[in-house]
Amino acid sequence: MSRRMPIYRRVKSVPKLADEGRYLASESTFYRVLKAEKQLQHRQKSKPVRQVKKPRALTATGANQLYCWDITYLPTQVLGLFFYLYLVMDIYSRKIVGWQIYERESSALAADLMTDICQRESVKPNQVILHSDNGSPMKGATMQATLQALGVVPSFSRLSVSNDNPYSESLFRTLKYRPEYPENAFGDLSAARIWVKGFVGWYNDEHLHSSIKFITP
CATH number for the domain spanning 106: value is 3.30.420.10
**Domain presence at residue 148:** yes
**Domain presence at residue 163:** yes
**Domain presence at residue 1:** no
**Domain presence at residue 175:** yes
- Provide the pLDDT for residue 51: 45
**Domain presence at residue 55:** no
Q: Could you give the number of structural domains in the chain?
A: 1
**Domain presence at residue 217:** no
Closest listed residue to residue 146, CA positions, set 162, 134, 130: 130
**Domain presence at residue 47:** no
Answer whether residue 163 shows pLDDT above 60: no
Eight-class DSSP state of 65 = S
**What residues make up the domain containing 188?**
66-212
**pLDDT grade for 186, boundaries at 50, 70 and 90:** very high
- The more confident residue out of 152 and 32 is 152
**Domain presence at residue 95:** yes
Q: What is the C-alpha separation between 202 and 216, in angstroms, rounded?
A: 10
* Contact indicator for 147, 118 with CB cutoff of 8 Å: no
Lowest mean pLDDT among 21-25, 31-35, 92-96, 134-138: 21-25
Answer whether residue 152 shows pLDDT above 90: yes
Single pTM value for the model = 0.70
Q: What is the C-alpha separation between 165 and 81, in angstroms, rounded?
A: 26
**pLDDT grade for 30, boundaries at 50, 70 and 90:** low
Closest listed residue to residue 105, CA positions, set 154, 140, 145: 140
Please give the helix or strand (H or E) that residue 96 lies within, else none. strand 96-102
Mean pLDDT of 174-182: 94
pLDDT tens digits along 46-100: 455 444 444 456 788 999 999 999 999 999 999 999 999 999 999 999 999 999 9
**pLDDT grade for 32, boundaries at 50, 70 and 90:** confident
Answer whether residue 19 shows pLDDT above 90: no
